[in-house]
Amino acid sequence: MPFGLKKKKSSKKLDRDSSVRGKSLSDRSPSSPQVPTFSDSERHDLNGGVSKAFKYAPSLSKVRIDLAGLPINVFGLKELTPVPARASAPPPPEVCAIIHMHGRCGDADGEEKIVRQLWDKVERLKMQAGGQDQRDCIIVNFDARNHGHRMTNKDGQLAWKQGNTRHALDLYGMITGTARDVSFIVDFLAPYLFPHDERNISAFAVTGKSLGGHSVWHVLAEEPRITVGVPFIGMPDYSKLLQDRTRTSFVSNGPPTVPASLKNLISSIDPAMKQFDVFDPSKNPFWGKKVCVCSGREDRLVKWDWNQGFLNALVLGEPNSRGGMDGLRVVLVDNVGHEVTEHMVEEAGDWIWRWSICI
């Protein structure tokens, strides 16, 4: 879906406590009073040169690799620290792979502005940190199911008001399928990129926009190898989404629009149906995870209220001295709707650098 190109007036960053009680939290990255939004209208040509339209990292390398039948874009592969020629030389740094997922009606190539800024932010922080032990960084993205080169049914991307009677099924299938594709990428990325075992991918992080943001929550709930995630304008509770959207679309929140079999599936696998609020690492799949939630306060498509109850109760580990969770940051931007801003991406880069790049 397209995102607007208008300037935003102000932004606020909150931790979990401040989103509940209205208290501000000073953090590493300052708020930006003016935040432009991304447009999907400009693309990077794999066969041509680098477009100068990109504000961040315009020369960043991008290669397309067929991963056992799933084409992926890999950014930053050529920028990795070279492997030393001498066997006695110290090994190159470990690698962190960030996997990014696009939104409904989008595709992987349309996410380059976000991807390039995210990589650029991480690299800026690495340079500022100097001699600190840090991982190298690559970013991977791919077309979601029924999107881009994987499209099989254009109508399957549409909503009820656009004539798709199976919207509830199609959307949840794309959300969960995309999350499972992430696990597939984690399985096979290292052997495809480094067949001589010349590099070690020792950390993975995940980011996603809109539909991809929903998928981030599924990845964090189901994939133990990924502990760091940034959902942009997404949410973890599909039942709440269905309750609101069926009402506003004047369709039934029951069969045939929302079959009982779909509700049973949601009840068994949805992140909001997990034991996310318990202080027991053996039961809570989010224990130890590091999550930076980025949303627009005026979002009418994925409403902030749908997130708030979950985040208020979310347990990521033992509470800090303030009673909050060190593993949770909430970036709630004023005067912004269903859009990803540069400020959000800067916060995401800061979060990933802190928890995935620093060793």
pLDDT along the chain (359 residues), means of 10: 39 40 33 36 39 83 97 97 86 96 96 97 95 93 96 95 96 98 98 96 98 98 98 97 96 97 98 97 97 97 94 93 87 96 98 96
Q: What pLDDT score was predicted for residue 322?
A: 83
Q: What pLDDT score was predicted for residue 6?
A: 39
Q: Is residue 21 part of a domain?
A: no
Q: What pLDDT score was predicted for residue 23?
A: 32
Q: Is residue 10 part of a domain?
A: no
- Convert 124-140 to b/e letters by CB count within 10 Å (16 or more is b): bbbeeeeeeebbbbbbb
- The total of structural domains in the chain comes to 1
Q: What pLDDT score was predicted for residue 44?
A: 39
Residue 291: domain span = 50-84+94-357
Q: What distance in Å separates the CA atoms of residue 88 and residue 130, rounded to the nearest whole number?
A: 24
Q: Is residue 251 part of a domain?
A: yes
Q: Is residue 40 part of a domain?
A: no
CA angle 112, 113, 116 (to 5 degrees): 75
Q: Is residue 32 part of a domain?
A: no
Q: Is residue 231 part of a domain?
A: yes
Provide the CATH number for the domain around residue 270.
3.40.50.1820
Please tell me the pTM assigned to this model.
0.85
Q: Is residue 143 part of a domain?
A: yes
Q: What pLDDT score was predicted for residue 4?
A: 36
Q: What pLDDT score was predicted for residue 52?
A: 52
